[in-house]
Amino acid sequence: MRRARRINRELAEVYPYAHPELDFENPFQLVVATVLSAQTTDLRVNQTTPALFAKYPTPEDLAAADPEEVEEILRPTGFFRAKTKAVIGLSKALAEQFGGEVPGRLEDLVKLPGVGRKTAFVVLGNAFGRPGITVDTHFQRLVRRWKWTEETEPDKIEATVGGLFPKSEWTMLSHHVIFHGRRICHARKPACGACPIAPLCPAYGEGETDPEKAKKLLKYEKGGFPGQRLKPPQAYLDAGGKPAPPLGAG
């Protein structure tokens, strides 16, 4: 527990601007964007959702949409037919069961089509300020590398890791870990030689340990590349991060 909390403190210093990397302006946009982020990058979702929300700004609008028109907009995100069915379905549920408002309770969110615990905690933590752990692929990979848990099922990872930290830290913990997984501790070739928590990491050496070679593996603001969001928070820009390009740019 002491080592886990120290790692989180170190990551908080490295990523004081950590944030959800999906663009959103309200809970409805966030829940839709999170559903769309399955099997693709947040960047691709962020490049796609401006057109979607411009045409269908409310759950009622999307619930009444022509599926073929929605499919055409969502095509760049992959699995666009299934995603179209999910976002139209959840929009209908919001309109019919919740007065067009995204509910702020876990038990209600997970009843929406396409919404599981991971998506629900993203929405609760970032749209409602209610603590939750987001167990995505980056989070799963890193907490096992760090020996915080040996579990492989998301629900069990969530419970085990949650027990190591105060509940109030869960949302930002998720952001810190996911940011680190995207920027430095990659799946295939982690940049161990450029990692700020290398002295604390039991998996040090799995990736490139030469500092110069490791630097070349860095992504997003650490490597000088744009991040995932077209409209990132000001703190991210102040830290040297760059907004991502819109769909079709460059």
Give me the residue spans of the domains in the chain: 2-18+133-226, 27-127
42, 83, 118, 222: the catalytic one is 118
42 is catalytic: no
Residue (of 44, 52, 50) closest to 72 by Cα position: 52
Report the distance separating Cα 34 and Cα 237, nearest Å: 23
pLDDT at 247: 87
Is the pLDDT at 250 greater than 60? The verdict is no
pLDDT at 59: 98
Tell me which architecture the domain covering 2-18+133-226 has in CATH.
Answer: Orthogonal Bundle (1.10)
What 3-state DSSP class applies to 61? helix
Report the distance separating Cα 190 and Cα 162, nearest Å: 25
Average pLDDT over residues 143-166: 97
118 is catalytic: yes
Report the distance separating Cα 106 and Cα 80, nearest Å: 26
235 is in an annotated binding site: no
Confidence category of residue 128, pLDDT binned at 50, 70, 90: very high
Confidence category of residue 248, pLDDT binned at 50, 70, 90: confident
pLDDT at 89: 97
42, 136, 210, 216: the catalytic one is 136
185 is in an annotated binding site: yes
Q: Are 109 and 119 in contact (CB under 8 A)?
A: yes
6 is in an annotated binding site: no
Q: How far from each other are the two terminal CA atoms of the chain, in whole angstroms?
A: 46
39 is in an annotated binding site: no
pLDDT at 81: 96
Percent over 70 (pLDDT), the chain? 100
- DSSP label of 16: T
- CATH (one of 1.10.390.10, 2.40.128.720, 1.10.1200.10, 1.10.340.30) for 27-127: 1.10.340.30
